[in-house]
Amino acid sequence: MRVLRAAGRTASAWSNGGGVTREIAAAPPGAGWDAFDWRVSLAEVGRDGPYSALPGVDRVLTVAEGAGLELTVDGVRHVLPGPYRPFAFPGDATTACRLLDGPVINLNVMLRRGRSTATVETVRGRHAAEPRPAEIAQTPGVRRERLVVALSGRTALNGPAPATGLTLERHDAALLPADHGVSLRTDGVAAVVTLTVRTATAGTRTG
C-alpha cells in the first residue's frame, strides 16, 4: 500500500491560466502525458474556459468542492450541480467548462482507452470496499488497484497491515491492491476509485 499525503504535492498551472492541477497518483509512477495508463489528480478551477483535448483518454470528473459547473461536451450541455457526482466523458471530445457560482475543486480520473478502466464511487459514513470475484481472480495480464481519496473531513481505513488504523486527512489518499478488502469510516466524503489495468504479457502490451 502507498500512502499519498496532500502536503507537498506540486501544483502545475494550466496553460490557459484557468486553474492548477495537483497529481495524486499515476501508473506507471511519474509517467508523462503520453505514457500513463491512468492518472488521478485534483484540479482547482478558477474561471470558465476550454479543456485541453486528450486523444485516446477517457475521463471521470467529480466536483469535490464548490457550487458545481456546466460542461459542454461536443455541443451537449451537462450540468453538474454541487459536489460528489461522478461524470464520465471522452477526453478527446471538444469540451468547455462554465462555473455555476465561483471556483471549484475537481477530482479527475484519466484512463488510457483500451488499457485502463475505472469505477468512481463517493461514500459517506461507513463503507466496506470488499473485493469482487473478478478482483480476487488472478487474471493474466490484468492488474487491479483501489485508490481511496479523502475529499473532505477525515477518513479512517481498516484492513490488512499497514492499512489498519490509517487516517487520511483532507485530500490525502491511499493506493492498495483491489484484491484486499478495506473498510472506511469518514466524517466527510471519500472517493473510492477502482482501477483495472491491462498490463504487458509475453513482451507485448495489450490494447
Residues 22 and 94 in one domain: yes
pLDDT attached to residue 59: 97
pLDDT attached to residue 205: 41
Q: How far apart are the C-alpha atoms of 94 and 83, rounded to whole Å? A: 23
Number of compact structural domains in the chain: 2
Residue 42 within any structural domain of the chain: yes
pLDDT attached to residue 206: 36
105 closest CA partner among 158, 62, 135, 54: 62
Predicted confidence (pLDDT) per residue in 49-99, tens digit: 999 899 999 999 999 999 999 999 999 999 998 899 999 999 999 999 999
Q: Characterise 114 by phi-psi region: left (phi > 0), alpha (psi -120 to 50), beta (else).
A: left
Asked whether the predicted pLDDT for residue 131 surpasses 80, the reply is no
Residues 122 and 44 in one domain: no
Rounded to a whole number, what is the distance in angstroms from the first to the last CA of the chain?
27
Residues 53 and 70 in one domain: yes
Residues 99 and 138 in one domain: no
Residue 80 within any structural domain of the chain: yes
Q: Which residue segment(s) compose the domain that 153 sits in? A: 116-198
Residues 67 and 134 in one domain: no
Residue 91 within any structural domain of the chain: yes
pLDDT attached to residue 14: 82
Residues 16 and 87 in one domain: yes
Instruction: Kindly state the percentage of the chain with pLDDT values over 90.
Output: 71
Sequence-distant (6+) residues with CB within 8 A of 39 are 23, 25, 26, 27, 31, 108, 109, 110
Residues 31 and 126 in one domain: no
Enter the C-alpha cell of residue 21.
Answer: 492541477
Residues 57 and 120 in one domain: no
The dihedral over CA atoms of 187, 189, 191, 192, expressed in degrees to the nearest 10, equals 40
